[in-house]
Every structure is written in structure tokens, then in C-alpha cells.
Chain A
């Protein structure tokens, strides 16, 4: 073999994969060609270990216009000729190396995935995981990531409207940074990422190409860390102002020159290599690129460096030759560089030239068809022991319920995330109807859509969710819960769940226990999608999330999109009116078995245990979600908030804090009070109802076959459950607001 193991290691290919390349090419690749394989056959680009599993996801829906893998992001038809484009993507490894730039370029990358389809980005969301903040390095990562997201998102004028953050030692040194972007596009203006029509030109626009980010896809995102922290040269550096200008220029070009622009593709992982080859693959064509025509940031770059650079803020447009000057004029108006670097061919090859001299020539199908691996999963040995855990043997906290609730509300995971989201501009574009922190999902106004009964048009509801603890303890149930909870958040504001995008974060997929987690989790997610009738329209997989052999909690992150026919008719979480009746939907009593403490935040925070087994009844979940949505749409509810981390007491406390109103509870608890207050049984939603509408709600619940129980009335200045809890709302608020400050 003419290449050394060091060369293969650098691009993260195995010797076996090298032999496969030689076999398929029927010759040895040269160094540049091998570099292209390294990028496209990386786990990050090639989905080597996840593609067979991803086929389990239901993707069919009358509303799904573009399905996973077809384009850069999924597209959902929301009616009136409008589509919503959405996708979540991870930037875990770059953020571990350099948190500020890693997170910032993660935002930039996902925005370009949405932009590339001709959609205006209207919202950013993010899901973050860190190790405990008591460790200074974790705090450095946390502050860097939040700062980077804030910096990039605020500069580009796309509101950052929703997110979630959780902490666990399993994420120490390997933070998870999943960024999601949502765009709106007129469906007749949708742009495809396809290179077709031989003779059409490849126009590279935006930033000049530098030496940054080489081997980002292969080296950084597709391997585990061996305790190295000095990987900075493989990280990319963002320029958000350029991105903002790129957004405006691309949208202006696709509108003004729509008959001349055949396709558009952003330059993300694997840079120019990824974008040209993927475009050619989708279009069933070939491409020829001359690297000498690529505008560069520095002299002396080799073709290898030009093709594999991951310099940010670049887009590739496929343009009909007689339109090129008009397209270029739009970009010069915005002071952006544009250069014709090659053209579409009909030979099915990607050919790289260096000033006219051919330096690489490879068949596109061979490049885009990475080998696929299916590792036989095996349940981690630890799982049996974790499942046999009996929460009823835990001693009850000595401080009693009041102290336990205050402690829980002050934990970083349960606490208010305002110290974070107030660093993000969540209002720009003037669409934010329900801002972050006010409800289980954010509500955005779609101003271009048909007006509803209130005269104000439609709304989008957005949420992102995922609980690694649950998936660690039971990958199947945990996967199902991730989907269920993201959708439950949507119905709490009154929206109909339309679709999800998934960010799958796992450890080393070559390990049988991780393979088991992946396959179980994806099956659980798929089951929940089917039960709730939501397709998966796009997604991303991040593997090798390990540090020194220690895998993260398997963490699927679910971004969910819902639709409100009338944006003015929605619910938020805060209690609104004294005298409203507080009702729990989805359960016939507030009592709970000790088993519901399995995987709970309470168990982790107050008992120091991560054990037990979460579970969900997907049929009940579907009924509860339909009921809640109809109740909000029928204007029956004053508020709605689901029970998640922190259980029933956590949910009630938040309703009180947000509404600055107390609760006069009227329910009694049988059995362990910690299970009743803090157990995390699924499919439960706390609502408040004006007394005169209570009967209607109860009838509706009966129709939907959903149990419910009255909990008390809104009023006073304390959260009171007779004989159990008496906590002033102000004290709860102080604990909750200070937990992350």
C-alpha cells in the first residue's frame, strides 16, 4: 500500500476503506483524491454508521415537501403557498475545542443550510449540554458557547427564540451544541441544491478561502478526543456581518434572477469538496473546478487546501451562463466577491484542475456512496442494575417538601434560563408573539399568510427538547419521550405539531453498547412519530462524543414545528386570574408511584442517583395532546404547561412564578410525597381554567378519553398543597431566577 497509516489517520479513513477505494476506482488515488474521500467518507458527511438506522424514521406526510437527505433541510407546507424550512445541526467537537467560535460557526452553518433553499431565516433555536458549572472548565465552555451564539445570532438579525440547557457530568469536556434554524419560503421560489445542465457555471460567492478548518469534517467531527485540547487550527472562524450580507444578497439574487439560478448550495463540512460533489450527486451530473479561480485569503495554498478548507460564509450558485453577469451584479451591490470557478459537465466526474492542469478526477457516485456499517448492538451491562433500582427505598429528604422544591427550582437545569436568553436578540424581525421563557413553545407570527378569524394571520410554534438522562436509562422510552415532549410543548401553546427535525448525539458507534443505544433510541423516536403523526423532515448525527473513553449520555435533540391557524389564539404557562381552577390533564390523581422518580431531576439533585426506568404510554400521550390543543383553540384555558423535569410541583411552581400568583391546592397525596411532587410521569399538562368553562373542558376530556383531576384554585401569594407544601411564590421566584445567574 503506497500510503502510510499516518496519512490515513490524518483523514480518519481505515486501511479497509482505503482498499475499498482502490477497488472501486480500479487504481490508487493520489493525495488530493484521497483527501476528497477522507472528507466525503467521514462519519460527518457520509453517515456511515447511522444511515441504515435513519431509514426507520417515518418521513411521509402530506405536508412534507422535501424529506431528509433530499436537500440541505426539510420543507413543510404550511398552506397559502408558504413553506417552512428547518433543520438542527450539531457543532459539538468544534465547541469543545474553541467554544466561542465553535458555537458561532455552528449557528452560521445551520443558517446557510436554510438560506441555501431560498428561504429567509426567521428563527434560531439551540439545545446545549455541559458538565456541572462547579468545574471552571465547564463554566468556560458554557460562557464561551453562549457568548458565541449571542454574538453571531445578534449580528445577523435572526431572532434566537427558544432553547434548552441541561447539565450532567457526562458532558464534561464534551459539550453538546445543537443549533437549529427555521426559515420561511414561498414554495414556488424554493431553490434546490442541484448541479444540472452541462455548461452551467459554478459561481462561488462570499468569503475568500483560507487555510482554516481543513479536516474539520474528518478529523474533528468524526473521531473521539483523547484528552487533546490543542486542535485549534482545525476550527473555523466566523464573520457574522458577512453572513448577514450574504443572506440579503442571496435572497435578492434568487428573487431577481430566479430564472437564471439553477441551484444553490452552502459550503459547510468539507468545504468546496462537499458542496460541489453533493450538488453534482443530486443533479446526476459532473463538475469541473479550477482551484486557481477560487479567491483566496492567502498565497501559496495547494489545491488540497483550497478544496478542503472550511472557511465560513461561502455559497455556491449554479447559474446559467447568460445570467452570470446579472447575478454577479447583485453580489457586488452588497460588496461581496463572486467568482466563476468551474462548470457543470455531463461526464459524471468531479474533476479538479489547477490552472487548467487536471489534478484529480473521480466518479461522483463513488465519492458520495460512503460504505455503511451496522454494528451489532448490545445492551450495556449496567442497564440491568439501573433498572432494578427501587426508588421507594430512598430515604425521604430530611428537609421536607418545601426545602426540596426550593432546592430543585434552584438547580441549574430547572432554573430560569433568562440569564442566557436575554443575551440573545429574540425579537428582531418583529414576529415574536410568545417570547422565550413565557410558554412551553415560542410562537412566531407568519405575517405573509392568510389572516385567521382574529384578523392577525397564522403562527408557528417552535420547541426543542431532549433528555439525555432518560435515554441513558432506557434508550427506547427515552427516544420516544424526546419526540413526545417536544410535540407536547407545541400543544401547550395550542399548535398542531407538523414535523420534527432531529439532532442525534451519541458516543463511539463502533462500540456495541453505543450501537444499542442508537438503534433503540431511533426506534423509540420513530414509534412516537407514528403515534403522534409527525414526520421527520431533516436531521443530523453527531457521533464519537466521548472524552477519554467515556461516552456522553445518548442525547437525541428534537426540534418541533407546529402551526396555529390564528396566532392570536394561544396559551402561555403563567397563571392569569385569581379564581381560575387548576386542573391536571392526563392523570386521574396527583398520586404517583415511586417508579416515576426513575431518571427524574429530583433523584439526581436530591438523592444523588441517576437510576430507574422512565416510561411513556404513547396512546395516552396522543390523546392528551389532542385534548390540550383543542382546549386552547376553543379558548377554554387561561394557561397550559407540561410536567417535565421537576414533575408536578416543578410545573406548578413555574406557573405561579410566571404569573406572580399563588395556588390554593385542594388535593391530597397518598403514598410517597416525593413521587407525587417530583415524579416525572409523562403525558401530563397543568392547565388553569375559568370556572365557567370547567364543565366544557371536562366534557372535552371525556370525549378524548383523557383522565383529569382538579388540583385547586389560583390565588394568594403562596404555592400551597394542604399538609405538604407552603412556599411563598416570591421565595420560589428568587430560587428559580438565581439558579443560573
Chain B
């Protein structure tokens, strides 16, 4: 499966949000997406992810214990936030050795969709599925707050329901979220359009003030070269219901649903 971003037009389907936000799958889509939500000891966004994809969006989902090694049967693997194994060495540094991570690498190599959120992003970097690393926030404090994200690449499977340049309002909750990569890797990410989300002001301007952790180039989320593995520090699963302060996180999950529907149509 090739996910070359240039070949796929990024036009969100009409009415997707209206149909899905009330707890049903988007109209016209028969098969539900099958999500696997990986649980390490210390993961705490697992239930929040389940709520977003299963309760709000009506998709299939189940937890995948970190000792499991078989991910066949899933369309998308979510690596949720938390403190896997306590993050005692470095965020995500121990989780990468667990059996499930070998399976995740295999799953990704075969083109499966992998979304790492917060600690999940850290795990993906430690496992070598994404370049760079996440360092301690520049101000050395934990931050739980709303941020604005500019969609820098709306043709990925994770953003295809968004418009290029659209601003999403999504919360962060981390102490180690400062994205760092060496100059070559950073230049490559930028050149190849693999920076997917950037911290910005509510009007989309990229400023120092909008950067909550000192991340290089205000980077909040990146994708691998094949386009099927996304890591992001903000928590889209926390803003999928109007009661919880916002629904912009739905755009990420709806993109996946739409991506899958389009693949089915082109087959």
C-alpha cells in the first residue's frame, strides 16, 4: 500500500462530522474501522482513546496488552498517552523493548496505520519508527493546557478530513514534549512535508508564544516517510465531544475513517 501524499486529493466528505458526532459511523461507510489500543503498564489514555473511537465514532476497538505479538485484524494501532513503564529511563525508552512493539514495527512495515499520541509519540521515536526525540519541556514544567495546531499537511491519512492550514484546538498534557531532531533530519522532515501539525496562535500564526514546550520549528506532530505512522504530542482523543470543551480531535479520527472508505472505493 502506497500512501504517497501527492496522489491523493484532500477533500473531506460532506456531512461527515454531522453524521458521526452523534455516535454513528459516517454515512456510506459499511465496514467499521478496527482499532487496537496498546496498553503498557502505566498507560492512562487508553480508556480515553476507546471512548473517542468506540463510543463517539462507533468504530470497533479493543485493548492490546503489551505482551501481545499479533496485530493482524486491526486497521489502525493507537499508542496512547501515559507513562509507559514509568518512563524511568527516558520517556518511551523502555516500552520500545516490549513484544508488542516488534509487532507494531511489522504492522507499520506492511502499511498499517499507526497513531502515537503523547507518550505514544515518544515510544515511536524511541522505537525508530519516527525520527528525532522528545525532550523535557524547555521551562522544565509539566503542561496541561489547550493549544492551537496548524494542519501543515492535509493529505495524510490522519488529516485528510482537514483543510491545509486549518487550525485545530487540541489540548496537550506532558512534561517531555519538546521535539528535537538533528539539523539534517529536521530539514528532511520539512522538505518532505512530514511536519503534520505545528503549534500556532488561534489565527494560525506560528509564534514563539504559541509554542508550549520549546519544540523545534513549533513541531507538534510528524509522520514517517511512508505516511502511515503519525506521532503527535497533543491529545485529539480529549476533544471529541462538545461536553469536553471541543470536538476538533474528531478531525483526526474522521480522517482515518475517510481514508479507509476511499481505499475501499478505489479497490
Contact check: which of B47, B143, B235 meets A422 at CB < 8 Å?
Answer: B143
Task: For residue A266, give the distance in angstroms from its CB to the closest CB of chain B.
Answer: 20
A422-B143, A456-B243 known; A241-B83 Cβ under 8 A: yes
Check if A433 sits within 8 Å of B175, measured CB to CB: no
Tell me the residues in window 69-97 of chain B with beta carbons closer than 8 Å to chain A beta carbons. Answer: 81-83, 85-88
Given A154-B173, A155-B83, A428-B44, is A433 in contact with B244 using a C-beta cutoff of 8 Å? yes
A334 at the interface (CB under 8 A from B): yes
Whether A244 and B42, one on each chain, are in contact in the complex, defined by CB atoms closer than 8 angstroms, is yes
Whole-angstrom CA separation of A568 from B47 in the bound complex? 22
Picked from B51, B87, B237, B243, the residue with its CB within 8 Å of the CB of A433 is B243
- Contacting A at CB under 8 A, from B32-90, are 41-42, 44-45, 47-48, 51-52, 81-83, 85-88
Instruction: Find out whether the CB atom of B83 lies under 8 angstroms from the CB atom of A425.
Output: no
| A445 contacts chain B at the CB level, 8 A cutoff | yes
Chain B residues, CB < 8 A from A421:
144
Picked from A154, A156, A240, A435, the residue with its CB within 8 Å of the CB of B175 is: A154
With a CB–CB cut-off of 8 A, which chain B residues contact A553? none
Cβ of B243 and Cβ of A568 under 8 Å apart? Answer: yes
- A-chain residues with CB within 8 Å of residue B88 when the two chains form the complex: 241
Bound Cα distance from A157 to B235, whole angstroms: 14
A241-B85, A456-B243 are contacts. A334–B41 as well, Cβ < 8 Å?
yes
| Chain B, Cβ-Cβ closest to A422 | B145
CB pair A427–B41 under 8 Å, yes or no, is no
A426 within 8 Å of B (CB atoms)? yes
B48 and chain A: residue at smallest CB distance: A430
B238: Cβ under 8 A from any A Cβ: yes
Q: How far is the CB of A262 from chain B (nearest CB, A)?
A: 27
Contact with B along A233-257 (1 / 0, CB 8 A): 0000001111011001000000000
Q: How many Å lie between the Cα of A427 and that of B142 in the bound state?
A: 13
Q: CB-CB < 8 A to B128: which residues of A? A: none
| Contact between A432 and B244, CB atoms less than 8 A apart | yes
In the assembled complex, A378 has its CB within 8 A of some CB on chain B: no
Beta-carbon contact of B51 and A425 below 8 Å: no
A567 within 8 A of B: yes
The residue of chain A having its C-beta at the shortest distance from the C-beta of B140 within the complex is: A147
Question: B238–A241 contact, CB under 8 A?
Answer: no
Q: How far is the CA of A91 from the CA of B243 in the complex (A)?
A: 34
If A239-B86, A430-B238 are given as contacts, then 11 extra A-B residue pairs at C-beta distance below 8 Å, sorted by A number, are A154-B83, A154-B144, A154-B173, A157-B44, A157-B45, A245-B41, A427-B238, A427-B244, A428-B81, A445-B244, A447-B51
Q: Does A392 contact B (CB under 8 A)?
A: no
23 A–B contacts from the bound complex (CB under 8 Å):
A150-B141, A154-B142, A154-B144, A154-B175, A155-B83, A157-B44, A157-B45, A241-B41, A241-B83, A241-B87, A244-B44, A244-B83, A245-B42, A421-B144, A427-B144, A427-B171, A427-B173, A428-B45, A428-B173, A430-B241, A431-B244, A433-B245, A435-B245
Alpha-carbon distance A240/B175, docked complex (angstroms) = 15
Contact mask for chain A residues 415-445; partner B; CB cutoff 8 A; 1 contact, 0 none: 0000001111111111111010000000001
Number of A-B contacts (CB under 8 A): 86
Closest B residue to A249 by beta carbon equals B41
The residue that B244 contacts in the complex, of A154, A240, A245, A430, with Cβ under 8 A, is A430
Cα A568 to Cα B48 in complex, Å, equals 19
Which residues from 146 to 191 on chain A have a C-beta closer than 8 Å to any C-beta of chain B?
150-151, 154-157
Closest CB-CB distance, B5 to chain A, in whole Å? 31
Question: A residues within 8 A CB of B41?
Answer: 241, 244-245, 248, 334-335
| Whole-angstrom distance between the Cβ of B91 and the nearest chain A Cβ | 12
We find that the number of chain B residues with CB closer than 8 angstroms to chain A is 30
Q: Bound complex: CA of A432 vs CA of B244, how far in Å?
A: 6
Question: Shortest Cβ distance from A738 into chain B, in angstroms?
Answer: 15
Residues of chain A lying within 8 A (CB to CB) of residue B87:
241
In Å, the complex CA distance between A242 and B83 comes to: 11
Question: In the complex, what residues of A have CB within 8 A of residue B82's CB?
Answer: 157, 244
User: Which of A239, A335, A429, A432 is B47 in contact with, Cβ under 8 Å?
Assistant: A429
CB within 8 Å for A150 and B238 given contacts A241-B42, A427-B171, A430-B51: no
Q: What chain A residues lie within 8 Å of B141 (beta carbons)?
A: 150, 423
From residue B240, how far is it (CB to closest CB) to chain A in Å? 8
Interchain CB contact (< 8 A) of B142 among A150, A157, A241, A335: A150
Q: Which of A26-78 contact B (CB under 8 A)?
A: none
Q: Nearest-CB distance from B92 to chain A (Å)?
A: 13
Minimum CB distance partner of A459 in chain B: B243
B residues near A157, Cβ cutoff 8 Å: 44-45, 82
Closest Cβ–Cβ distance, residue B46 to chain A (whole Å) = 9
Shortest beta-carbon distance from A481 to chain B in Å: 31
Most central of B45, B81, B237 by chain A CB within 10 Å: B45
Query: Contact flags (1/0) for B162-175 with A, using CB distance below 8 Å?
Result: 00000000010101
Please name all residues of chain B whose beta carbon is closer than 8 Å to the beta carbon of A242 when the two chains form the complex: 86
Measured in the bound complex, the distance between the Cα atoms of B83 and A117 in whole Å is 25
A429 x B86 contact (CB < 8 A): no
Contact with A along B201-243 (1 / 0, CB 8 A): 0000000000000000000000000000000000101100101
> Does the CB pair A430–B47 fall under 8 Å?
yes
Determine the residue in chain A with the shortest Cβ distance to B241.
A430
Question: For the complex, what is the distance from the CA of A423 to the CA of B82, rounded to whole Å?
Answer: 15
Of all chain B residues, the one with the shortest Cβ separation from A159 is B144
Cβ of B265 to closest chain A Cβ, rounded Å: 32
A423 touches B243 (CB 8 A): no
On chain B, the residues within 8 Å of A433 by CB distance are: 243-245
A150 to B47, CA, bound (A): 21
A709 to chain B, nearest CB (A): 34
A154 neighbours in B (Cβ, 8 Å): 83, 142, 144, 173, 175
User: Are A567 and B243 in contact (CB-based, < 8 A)?
Assistant: yes
| A241 and B83 alpha carbons, distance in the complex (Å) | 7
Docked complex Cα distance between A456 and B22 (Å): 11
Q: Which residues of A contact B142 (CB under 8 A)?
A: 150-151, 154, 423-425
Task: Name the one of B81, B144, B171 contacting A424, with C-beta atoms under 8 angstroms.
Answer: B144
B-side contacts of A431, CB under 8 Å: 244
Q: Measured between alpha carbons, how far is A433 from B88 in the docked complex, in Å?
A: 32
Q: Is the Cβ of A155 less than 8 Å from the Cβ of B144? A: no
Residue from A150, A248, A430 with most neighbouring chain B CB atoms (10 Å): A430
Binary contact readout B83-122 vs A (1 if CB under 8 angstroms, 0 otherwise):
1011110000000000000000000000000000000000
Q: Tell me the minimal C-beta distance from A532 to chain B in angstroms.
A: 28
Chain A contacts of B143 at CB under 8 A?
422-423
Chain A residue nearest in CB terms to B243: A433
B47 near A155 with CB under 8 A, answer no
Residues of A within 8 A of B235 (CB): 427
Assembled-state Cα–Cα distance A546/B173 (Å): 37
Q: How far is the CA of A394 from the CA of B110 in the complex (A)?
A: 78
In whole angstroms, how far apart are the Cα atoms of A122 and B67 in the complex?
A: 27
Contact of A155 with B42 in the complex, beta carbons under 8 Å: yes
For the complex of A and B, the 6 pairs showing the least CB-CB separation, nearest first, are: A157-B44, A241-B86, A430-B48, A425-B173, A425-B144, A423-B142
Most buried by B among A422, A424, A427: A427
Please, how many angstroms separate the alpha-carbon atoms of A445 and B237 in the complex?
Answer: 16
From B235, which residue of chain A is reached at the shortest CB distance? A427
Contacts known (A334-B41, A445-B243); A429 close to B48, Cβ less than 8 A: yes
Q: Is B144 touching A423 in the complex (CB atoms < 8 A)?
A: yes
> Pick the contact of A430 from B83, B86, B144, B237 — CB < 8 Å?
B237
B66 to chain A, nearest CB (A): 10
Which one of B41, B51, B237 has the greatest number of beta carbons of chain A within 10 Å? B41
Report the minimum CB–CB distance from B93 to chain A (whole Å). Answer: 14
Query: Please, which residue of chain B has its CB at the minimum distance from the CB of A424?
Result: B144
Q: How far is it, in angstroms, between the C-alpha of A239 and the C-alpha of B238 when the chains are bound?
A: 26
Those of A128-154 within 8 Å (CB) of chain B: 150-151, 154
How far is A568 from B81 in the complex, measured between Cα atoms in Å? 27
The residue of chain A having its C-beta at the shortest distance from the C-beta of B43 within the complex is A157
CA of A282 to CA of B176, assembled, Å? 45
Residues in chain B near residue A245, CB distance under 8 A: 41-42
Q: A248 to B40, alpha carbons, bound, how many Å?
A: 11
Closest Cβ neighbor of B171 among chain A residues: A427
Chain B residues with Cβ under 8 A from A334's Cβ?
Answer: 41
B145 — which chain A residues lie within 8 A by C-beta?
Answer: 422
